[in-house]
Amino acid sequence: MSPPPTPLKPPSLPPHSATTTATAFLFLLFLLPLTTSAASQSCSTQHSSKFSCPPFTSIPSFPFSSYPGCGHPSFQIQCSFPHAIISINNLNFSLLHYEPNSTSLLLSPLTPSPQSSLSKTSCSVQHSLFFIPNRPISLSGSPFRVSDSYCSRLSVLKPCQPPNLPNCSHCSWECKLIKNPIHLLRDECVSKSHQDSQQGCQGDVLGFLDKFLKLGVEVEWDEDQDSYFSSCKTCRASNGFCGFNSSDPEKAFLCFKSPAAQIREKGVNRIAILCILFLFMCFLIILFVATVIYRSRQKGLASEEDPTIVFLRRHRSAGLLPPVFTYEELGSSTNHFDVKRKIGDGGFGSVFLGQLHDGRIVAVKYLHKHNSSTAASGNKAFSTKSFCNEILILSSLNHPNLVKLHGYCSDPRGLLLVYEYVPNGSLADHLHGSTNLYGKDRLTWNLRVDIAVQTAMAIEYLHFSVVPPIVHRDITSSNIFVEKDMRVKVGDFGLSRLLVCSETTMERDDSSGGVWTGPQGTPGYLDPDYHRSFLLNEKSDIYSFGVVLLELITGMRAVDQRREKREMALADMVVSRIQMGLLHQVVDPILVVDGEAVEGVDAVAELAFRCVATDKDDRPDAKEVVAELKRIRGRNRLVGGGAGVLRSSNSSNVVVPES
């Protein structure tokens, strides 16, 4: 069994791995929205159920937020009782009051830890320093600034002389505050302080600060100066929630989509992606299934059917193919290739007479497969392919003077060709056979010319009407078959190519127009040029046909061992006789009337002489041969009168062979 002609290439992406990739991708796709939506969800809802965050009466809105990452980074509050706590520059403040939609806050510094407040008490015995922070309040770097009114209130605060100082080596911060209370609010208020004011001398500076801070320090901010506010406006316009990147040191602004919009948008996205994925998976599945089916079919074809048939099917629709016979069918039709049924034997194989199931009588040609010379086991696939090619060509040929190919059988046991059976023997049988079977004398000159014309027309058809042209390569009188009505059909065309093919010969066939072949052809008919070039072409057929013409003229065999060596080949003999002007010596006696050859013999001999020219360029082509023979036949009919009615052979008592 030969391998299938074209092995299937594996698909570039194995379907299983692609499917896994797609599944993983799908899985990630579902995870992604879950992680990102968490922050935005909190920014919008903010555990509203157990809300308690004084002074806010409702959920703090932008810029405030009690959830990290939401709102403005400088307005992060911690909900606690009695006041929410806001942290500015690492200093905690109680958020005493906030008017909604205003841009100011009332803050009060909280005490630090209880431990540090204890140590503070030692510094000021008579005052509780509960609210006084242990360092200056700095608002730099925040959006806040102390309102003017509170700055002025501090700036007019002056200690009375001499200040009642605690142990300054121990309580340096308190001493500093008592000497210059404005230090509590650094930076801004210092520049604005009104040194000219005479009033406001406070003996108990720390006590005053204590009360003062309990009332709270008002801070304000300018929304126009802060990019967060403008960014949030555009974010809110698109139903977003304002926040920032808490892991980013820059605390970059972030706009979270509202959950509804998010779900809507993501949903649309997800549906689109899902659709694409679904289609993609479908495509993969189809691809996979198709590959599996195609592979199994390939395997099935290769293992179950003969590659010959596979090839033929692929190249032509089954309806146009010649019927395929089974080996068994042909075996039984020929009585298992019974020797008694053998009606011919040649270089290519043996011919058996067979009767098909439908009653048709056929000639079954059993080709010797081992004859395919170099096309041995390694080349088998090729020889099979070329065999198929030839079958295609031969079965498509249709000419009244060519034997019809009925069908074929390709089997490991042998190649079989089934031809129409031409029942009346070959031309060789008629010319050289035993007199009682056919009788040479029945071959009148007109009949012989007609046979020549039909044979030439078959050759012309092979050479000029078939693409690519077929070189018969074995035109002999044994390959010209005679029907009951004495019409002829040429057989065995193309067989040499069927069998003696190798890859190189096919290539040469295309390039040089000739076919390199192993030794073949029939002695006596073989183009002498072949021994020089080892190429057979159309002109080689013309040579062989020339020899057949000479057979028709002389009635002698193409090769006759009984003749002397120089004249063993008919062509050599007749050519030399013609050159000596002694043609009449070799003309078939039947064609000689009153010592002279009948009209037209000379003309045909002249044509044959040209056909067997040693140089192939001197030989005429098939078209020319047909034209010349038709011309001769037409003249014969004019001259020969009644003898020319060959076509209606049944009515002619001259030509009917046996009835």
Minimum separation from the CB atom of position 80 to ligand NAG (A): 6
Which residue, 250 or 615, has its beta carbon nearer to ligand NAG?
Answer: 250
**Residues in 59-98 at the binding interface with ligand NAG, rule: CB under 6 A:** 78, 85, 87, 90-92
**Residues in 564-593 at the binding interface with ligand NAG, rule: CB under 6 A:** none
Amino acid at 122: S
E-assigned strands of 143-271? 144-146, 158-159, 201-202, 217-221, 240-244, 253-257
The response to whether 380 counts as a known ligand-binding position is: no
Q: Is 100 in the site for ligand NAG (CB under 6 A)?
A: yes
How far, rounded to the nearest angstrom, does the alpha carbon of residue 345 sit from its chain's CA centroid?
A: 50
**Residues in 253-282 at the binding interface with ligand NAG, rule: CB under 6 A:** none
Which residue, 91 or 391, has its beta carbon nearer to ligand NAG?
Answer: 91
Q: Give which of 533, 229, 513, 501 is closest to 384, Cα–Cα.
A: 501
Q: Residue from 49, 169, 317, 653 that binds ligand NAG (CB under 6 A)?
A: 169
Minimum separation from the CB atom of position 5 to ligand NAG (A): 59
Residue 373 · residue 500 · CB < 8 Å: yes
Q: Residue 203: CB partners within 8 Å, gap ≥ 6?
A: 159, 160, 163, 164
Q: Give which of 640, 196, 287 is closest to 446, Cα–Cα.
A: 640
* Count of residues in contact with ligand NAG, rule CB under 6 A: 15
Minimum separation from the CB atom of position 247 to ligand NAG (A): 5
| Residue whose CB is nearest to ligand NAG in the complex, by number | 248
Q: Is 245 in the site for ligand NAG (CB under 6 A)?
A: yes
For residues 208 and 157, what is the distance between their CA atoms, to the nearest angstrom? Answer: 9
Minimum separation from the CB atom of position 167 to ligand NAG (A): 4
Residue 608 · residue 546 · CB < 8 Å: yes
Residue 212 · residue 169 · CB < 8 Å: no
Q: Is 248 in the site for ligand NAG (CB under 6 A)?
A: yes
Q: Is 122 in the site for ligand NAG (CB under 6 A)?
A: no
Minimum separation from the CB atom of position 212 to ligand NAG (A): 20
Indicate if 474 belongs to the active site. Answer: yes
Residue 354, SS3 per DSSP: strand
Q: Is 165 in the site for ligand NAG (CB under 6 A)?
A: no
Q: With CB under 6 A as the contact rule, which of the stretches 164-172, 284-292, 389-397, 487-495 interacts with ligand NAG?
A: 164-172
Q: Give which of 438, 432, 427 is closest to 562, Cα–Cα.
A: 432
With tokens 């040929």, the residue in question is 397
Which residue, 119 or 167, has its beta carbon nearer to ligand NAG?
Answer: 167
Q: Would you give the binding string for ligand NAG spanning residues 393-432, x where CB under 6 A is met?
A: ----------------------------------------
Rg (CA), the chain: 58
Q: Is 223 in the site for ligand NAG (CB under 6 A)?
A: no
Q: Is 112 in the site for ligand NAG (CB under 6 A)?
A: yes
Write down the number of H helices and E strands in the chain.
20, 21
Which residue, 92 or 180, has its beta carbon nearer to ligand NAG?
Answer: 92
CA distances from 227 to 85, 86, 224, 253, 521 (A): 24, 20, 7, 9, 102
Residue 243 · residue 43 · CB < 8 Å: yes
Minimum separation from the CB atom of position 237 to ligand NAG (A): 12
Q: With CB under 6 A as the contact rule, which of the stretches 216-224, 240-248, 323-331, 545-553 interacts with ligand NAG?
A: 240-248
Q: Is 101 in the site for ligand NAG (CB under 6 A)?
A: yes
Which residue, 76 or 502, has its beta carbon nearer to ligand NAG?
Answer: 76
Q: Token pair of 2, please?
A: 């030969």
Which residue, 17 or 58, has its beta carbon nearer to ligand NAG?
Answer: 58
Residue 242 · residue 258 · CB < 8 Å: no
Minimum separation from the CB atom of position 245 to ligand NAG (A): 4
Which residue, 87 or 138, has its beta carbon nearer to ligand NAG?
Answer: 87
Q: Which of 474, 509, 527, 588 is catalytic?
A: 474
Residue 480 · residue 451 · CB < 8 Å: yes
Pairing of strands 349-355, 361-367: antiparallel
For residues 591 and 574, what is the distance between their CA atoms, to the nearest angstrom? Answer: 16
Report angle CA 98, 99, 105 to the nearest 5 degrees: 40
The dihedrals phi and psi of 483, each to the nearest 5 degrees, come to: -90, 175
Q: Which residues are annotated as a binding site?
A: 365
Query: Which residues are identified as catalytic?
Result: 474
Which residues contact ligand NAG (rule: CB under 6 A)? 78, 85, 87, 90-92, 100-101, 112, 167, 169-170, 245, 247-248
Q: Which residues are annotated as a binding site for ATP?
A: 365
